[in-house]
Structure 1
């Protein structure tokens, strides 16, 4: 426990503090304006009463269970809900760069719309670039004929459609028409051909069926209409025994589509409409969107299909097109607003504004890892789990998500009750474009970095973490940095001068004890370690048992280490080093509460105002939201051991 001077607090001030604490609801959404769009009046919010502004629970205080079932999405500024706006603002600026052809290799997509939300508050809703920019590959439309992307632009979701198929499947499980562990052949006898008799519904949802990624004969090359194409799906030949391999496969969800249509007697589009989009009032989500929506639809690729040209409102995926635009793996069109309602529904345990589409147990199963035996391919029922390559700082074993080929992604972080949505038309005007993963990853990183991490005890703290090659504002971090102490010298409690040992060396009669608080949320390939130097900083050695990496349940750790007694003729220095890459996931590393002692003698306390620390790549952070300052109280004095 950090030792600080006591503060005598008058009773009147305690009343003020109690009022502050009592007015901080943690889970209700709030109305207000949002970064990147005009302010929304209360009656324009997605629903629910307006509550007083609150303080974010903190990224280092993960939530347990679902959000309150009455949580609704309301627009707020980041500051109004206790978030740091700098990372979000920086991400939105980068979104403009990614949609600018003048950026060369940094140009990722013609247009994009992003939405970020935390604890029921939509804190960013922003569009950049053009929904329609090209007449055909290599030919840009005149500026006056282009269609700018808007917050309500409708995008081809591509493989995000798989999530809707999975939700429909779980609805049929709840209805008793479908069982996860039952072979698919029980519902579709023709499916048993070519060794598929043992494949279960669960294996289709978790991509462990052994089916190849796509039909060997592309469905658009199969003559004979929809019936013949369904037979092609049923006759697919597996490449591995069920349950022995993980392979992401469109065929899995196409097969599941046939199961769902068989057990219900309805088409998939009907099941999605009646079971999901209508109950949740997702009015801008549909397969084969009507012509009236076309002015708001983002164009995708220039297609060789007869009479099509630049696709706009017709599904980009050719196999989905061959299925009439309604397919288990692709085909849906939607907006960030509609997807936000779906994401909050799942955070609420399957309900939104009193309309339930799934029970809490089914929602839990969506996020259960069924593929732990395949490291790196964590998968729930339809949803991917813990994929830092696109989830960024929101990634964790409990984070759900998915991506789509057209440039779409959805990340739902249950622990911070947050989600990040990025919809783009990266395939406009052609499929051969750079990876959009940096933008996907940056969306999750910006939201994660905006959620505060509060140093235990409220003392001085520092941050470093991955950046995708560019700063993200506020806690900017880097691909690797160091935080280095000055030369350690003894300071006796109560002394006003700093005594020097012989010739500046550090003499100690007993071992040195080091302790500090660390918040580590990184890739397993990253490294955060304490190092020491006894030659003036020329060479460094790691201090045993201080290396950290990976996911640590988003909690602070108390790290302790011991160094042998001196003398240290050339003095002793300590440094904390973070090493990562531009592709690293996780939020990063926070450090605070460094205390180095020899017996009762304090050699170093990072909370001392003049504690010598040199930061390269690390960011010193302000003390977050001190209630004492909010109540008008003075700072309580210097920590123990300072001059």
Structure 2
């Protein structure tokens, strides 16, 4: 099943707690400055509170409340977003949240007929979910293990190992192109409509829709082929390769293909399927192609728990090892976190992992932020820069895939963890913070008159996505008529990830660094006002904007020292943060 990215507006988690935050400083949590490299190989998961990890609990609590609310009908939705959900958040190896809400089994049929209360089964923290396309990560890791063992090469044509694949224009497709979805193969196939003996041959015989290496198409046939390739070079079935190379070394006891019948009461139901006529699917893979292939395939089929996926995530944040077991070399993990698709903006992809996808990573997104989603309603996000993990498992297709996407929940969970990491001020004890929730303005009282040009300088921590209509960016404006009209101040920013040259507004994401910003206001015989304005949209969420160290000076001297004269700034939507 191909991935469909739906641009769905969501109410930001930050908005849920904005009322209380505006009345008092945000708090004194510590933002983890971007870290290069991997976490220590000795890092293991252990339970703790957000405060143990230097995080604020409010944004996480707000995210969890929203995720629970979506198990029922909310305004704007005809149905619940999902029957049940299990979420897990990790920061620096500390499991700061592990929560289960709703039901793993709730409905009797595809029409949404609810089971009697005594027949519904609640979701628990150890509920096993069909993780759908997150299975692709297991196939990718298994393939890279074969590369490390010298059984195949990334730059080699797939046909070198699977001669039957090298037909109909596929002879030049490489292993790397399968991993990065640049092979040119189509997005989907319908193998379940074919006789069993024709299913894998049909994939081998596909004709690419575009030349290999000429574009990006998220493709299930890529990963089905990769699964067959792994089996061929390893000389063993894919489920055995994954078990021996990944789940057994990492003690991921609840992860694998075709879960045993004895675990059925722990498995979340998925969809009631009429075509093919499978009824309510539970304990078997939801994806029709994987089901047609016996439940073991390169693109889908893995079942897992939030705890097990967190272990896998921490192993990768550690550079490939966990609890003394190494599943990949550090250099290989680095390739999984390196963008090979720079020619296709918006489709950043490492070897197996999607990278920097704000539509579900929200404020955790960055150049090395890695993750994957699953059609059944699952997502895994790894943020190496802050050494954080966000796992969300839902059964959003229970009872019907037509009930809609759970992208807002994916964003909400990642954003809750991102906003829990406070940004430390660069000057003094406080800075101003505008949440990624609603328009915000920070306005000075009258300054001047301005003798000569006035220099405006400040520090800014910007985590936004600038859109074509100019929203979701920080602007600075001035008014010489007491706010009746406003004109933009052209800005120059310096620092990691800063835009080059003068800018009418500032936007950027993932760099996790303060910028030094300056601009100028022309001479004015009348006093002027300045305002810092952040106007986010409702589509994709970042961490928001922090401003600190505001200083306005003209030829005659200082007009405003924001550190000493904070009372001369009027806030609408900006809140003070402190160290």
Same fold, TM-score > 0.5, yes or no: yes
Cα offset for 1:267?
0.5
TM-score (ref. length: structure 2): 0.90
1:486 aligns with 2:428: no
Aligned pair 1:87/2:59, yes or no? Answer: yes
Partner residue, 1:465: 435
- Do 1:97 and 1:103's aligned partners in 2 also have CA atoms closer than 8 Å? no
- 2-structure distance, mates of 1:104, 1:574: 38
Higher relative contact order by CA 8 Å / sep ≥ 6: 1 or 2?
2
RMSD: 1.6
Are residue 113 (structure 1) and residue 69 (structure 2) matched? no
Structure 1 residue 590 corresponds to structure 2 residue 536: no
Question: Which residue in 2 is equivalent to 1:186?
Answer: 160
Q: Which residue of 2 aligns with 1:141?
A: 115
Question: In the alignment, which residue of structure 1 is the partner of 2:103?
Answer: 130
Contact between 1:604 and 1:611, CA under 8 Å: does it hold in 2? no
Deviation readout 1:40-67 (Å, 9 max, x if unpaired): xxxxxxxxxxxxxxx97624x1011100
**1:575 maps to 2:525:** no
Counterpart among 72, 81, 98 of residue 100 in structure 1: 72
Contact 2:184 2:212 in 1 (8 A): yes
1:297 paired residue among 250, 264, 267: 267
Match of 1:497 in 2: none
Is 339-348 or 549-558 further displaced after alignment? Answer: 549-558
Alignment partners' CA distance in 2, 1:191 and 1:315: 26
- Paired residue for 2:144? 170
After superposing on structure 2, the runs of 4+ consecutive aligned residues of structure 1 that deviate more than 4 Å are none
Equivalent in 516, 531, 549 of residue 507 of structure 2: 549
Q: Does the CA-based 8 Å contact 1:371-1:378 persist in structure 2?
A: yes
Structure 1 residues 243-274: Cα deviation after superposition (integer angstroms, max 9, x where no partner): 00110000000011111111111000001100
Candidates 399, 402, 408, aligned match of 2:372? 402
Output the CA distance in 2 between the equivalents of 1:192 and 1:168.
22
Shift of 1:554: 1.1
In the other structure, the counterpart of 2:484 is 538
Matched residue, 1:522: 464
Name 1:11's counterpart in structure 2: none
Indicate conservation of the 8 Å contact 2:366/2:510, yes or no. no
| 1:214–1:249 contact (8 Å) kept in structure 2 | yes
2:524 alignment partner in structure 1: 566
Q: Work out whether residues 29 and 420 of structure 2, in 8 Å CA contact, stay in contact via their aligned partners in 1.
A: no
How far did residue 527 of structure 1 move?
1.4
Compared CA separation, residues 57 and 459, structure 1 to 2 (3 A):
closer
Ranges in structure 1 where 5+ consecutive residues have no aligned partner: 1-54, 467-477, 489-505, 625-643
How far residue 313 of structure 1 moved from its aligned partner, in angstroms, is: 0.6
Gap change, CA 1:552 and 1:69, over 3 Å in 2: closer
Does the 8 A contact of 2:154 with 2:175 survive in 1? yes
Give distance in 2, aligned partners of 1:109 and 1:605.
Answer: 51
State the match for 1:219 in structure 2. 191
- The 2-side partners of 1:556 and 1:126 are apart by 33
Q: Which moved more, 1:433-442 or 1:158-167?
A: 433-442
Pair 1:63 & 2:35 matched? yes
Between the aligned partners of 1:551 and 1:94, the Cα distance in structure 2 is 24
**Shift of the alpha carbon at 1:104?**
5.9
* Paired position in structure 1 for 2:258: 288
Partner of 1:502: none
Give the Å deviation of 1:230.
Answer: 1.3
Q: What is the Cα deviation at residue 304 of structure 1?
A: 2.8
Residues 408-419 of structure 1 mapped to structure 2, 5 A cutoff = 408-419=378-389
Name structure 2 gaps, 5 residues minimum. 1-27, 493-504
- Residues 1:433 and 2:403 are matched in the alignment: yes
Shift of 1:610: 4.9
